[in-house]
């Protein structure tokens, strides 16, 4: 029983430290235009006072972003939005955001 409690406490501590380190959040949706294939759209929101987005990768760089203005400096609550081409990214599994404060990976469900 003591081992279970110790593992639980370590997990809670790890979650707490991980939550403080996160400087951006990612929102994902799949949009479908009439008569076209759905395409992934990603919105990156700053959760810190100031952060610069240097690069965005989908599926470890295998998904193509047709256009985005980078680097992008964001303040708290501000966001940038981009999409991936449907042909290059039919199944978006992972998004990586490179910033001046580190890199963050998000798994897409």
List pLDDT tens digits, range 73-103: 999 999 999 998 888 888 899 999 999 999 9
**Is the pLDDT reported for residue 22 higher than 80?**
no
List pLDDT tens digits, range 29-49: 887 776 777 888 899 999 999
**How many CB atoms are closer than 10 A to CB 78?**
13
Please check whether residue 54 is in contact with residue 99, taking contact to mean a CB–CB distance below 8 angstroms. yes
Burial class (CB in 10 A: 0-12, 13-18, 19+), 58: buried
* Domain map (residue ranges) of the chain: 23-107
Architecture of domain 23-107: Sandwich (2.60)
Task: Report pLDDT for 34.
Answer: 64
The pTM of this model reads: 0.73
């Amino acid at each position: 029983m003591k081992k279970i409690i110790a593992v639980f406490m370590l997990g809670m501590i790890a979650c707490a430290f991980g939550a403080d380190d996160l400087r951006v959040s990612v929102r994902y949706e799949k949009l479908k235009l009439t008569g076209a294939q759905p395409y992934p759209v990603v919105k990156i929101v700053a959760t810190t006072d100031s952060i610069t987005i240097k690069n965005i990768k989908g599926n470890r760089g295998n998904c193509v972003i047709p256009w985005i203005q980078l680097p992008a400096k964001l303040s708290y609550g501000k966001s940038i939005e981009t999409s991936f081409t449907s042909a290059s990214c039919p199944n978006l599994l992972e998004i990586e955001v490179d910033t001046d404060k580190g890199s963050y990976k998000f798994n897409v469900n």
